[in-house]
Amino acid sequence: MTETVFANAKIITEDSVVQGMVKIVDGIISAVDTGTSVPSGAIDCESDYIAPGLIELHTDNLERHLSPRPRVNWPKRAAVLGHDRELAGAGITTVFDALRVGSEADQKRKGYVKYARETADNILDLMRQSALKVSHYIHLRAELCTDTLVEELHEFSSNDHIGLVSLMDHTPGQRQFRDTAKLRVYLMGKHGYDDAGVEAHIARLKELQSLYLEKHRAATVAYAKEVGAVLASHDDTTADDVSASAREGVTVAEFPTTSEAATACRAHGQYIVMGAPNIIRGGSHSGNVAAHDLANNGLLDILSSDYVPASLLNAAVSLGMLMEDIAAGIRKVTAVPADATGFDDRGRIAPGKRADLVRFSLHDGLPMISSVWVRGTRVS
């Protein structure tokens, strides 16, 4: 039997912050007690916070490791390991790695190159070897308006740890990229397009939407049911968008772009996910609704680090301080994403739960992580 005790800590439970100790036996929380005493052999946390390990539902961070610069491809195994270590350092102990499925058959058009199956194979193989520090699940980002989507989806089965499937349509002039000027800046900056390249790209995407949107949407909804994955929408903009998602069985709404859409998500009982970078920056980089505005109106359930892992704890603490309720902010990155994806063994500091824990202190309002534990083993 292996026992660890964190004592003299500010323990962030689901509903409050209490001074006390957390006892861990064989990777499971066995007790949570109040008080300031430090028993012999315990770790004195010196009044630092102890939070549940963070749960990340949608991160593109692995893509940055796979391609650290435009047209630079990094070895996939090395990329997965680097990504995993970065997440551990950010306090993320459970992650749904977002992998794009769907590419263009004609790669001469500068389309996305197929990569999901090979990347997932590396993730799963490293998991089998116990080489990864945090718990990984697969999130398939289904790009509906692409040539190869259905083919790529069916390269994955229910044995591949698929936890989430999201419905994506990035056709310009709608959803995330209603403002095509923002898209132009993005394409030129990230992919090196010139003006002519941007125009050709936009025209091609609109052509693909007309060919594939409806039939690929239906195929993806059916596939998610087949593999038992939670179905998510992405960038819903209108109440009609949300109604359509709800009819298809969507329970997680990723990044609704307007207050109208978020209000409709709430009416349909969907979990509303917004980006932690949106909170930190004070607004959306795409010109969409600010996450703070949704939070102030009770329309924000879950935070996602999206493209900056370190933003997750930072944003949760920031929201908690604004609400004068740290526990409420932390719930958005722990208990609520656990509920949204069907986990009942993590996301809370309570007896019987996994000992996935993050110790941090605050410096000028910013969280500073000192250690991270997964199933009672220190990983950072």
Dist CA 207 CA 106 (whole Å)? 14
Instruction: Give the Å distances, CA to CA, from 265 to 79, 233, 239, 243, 293.
Output: 35, 10, 8, 8, 15
Residue 287, pLDDT score: 74
Residue 112, pLDDT score: 67
Beta bridge partners of 141: 100, 166
Dist CA 40 CA 46 (whole Å)? 15
Residue 56, pLDDT score: 98
Dist CA 346 CA 339 (whole Å)? 9
* Domain 53-345 CATH (choose: 3.40.50.620, 3.20.20.140, 3.40.50.2300, 3.60.110.10): 3.20.20.140
Instruction: Give the Å distances, CA to CA, from 48 to 14, 21, 376.
Output: 17, 11, 18
Dist CA 257 CA 240 (whole Å)? 13
Dist CA 159 CA 152 (whole Å)? 15
Q: Can you spell out the DSSP letters for 155-213? A: T--TTS-EEEEEEE---TTSGGGSSHHHHHHHHHHHH---HHHHHHHHHHHHHHHHHHH
Residue 356, pLDDT score: 98
Torsion of CA 149, 150, 153, 157, to 10 degrees: 180
Nearest Cα to 357, choosing from 366, 348, 365?
A: 348
The secondary structure of residue 73, as a DSSP letter, is P
CB 294 within 8 A of CB 259: yes
Q: What share of the chain is helix, strand, coil (3-state, %, to 5)?
A: 40, 25, 35
User: How would you classify the pairing of strands 28-34 and 92-101?
Assistant: unpaired
Residue by residue, pLDDT tens for the chain (380 residues) are 799 999 999 999 999 999 999 999 999 999 999 999 999 999 999 999 999 999 999 999 999 999 998 789 999 999 999 999 999 999 999 999 999 999 876 555 455 688 999 999 999 999 999 999 999 999 999 999 899 999 999 999 999 999 999 999 977 755 566 656 666 666 665 566 676 767 676 777 777 787 889 999 999 999 999 999 999 999 999 999 999 999 999 999 999 999 999 999 999 999 999 999 999 999 887 678 999 999 999 999 999 999 999 999 999 999 999 999 999 999 999 999 999 999 999 999 999 999 999 999 999 999 999 999 999 999 99
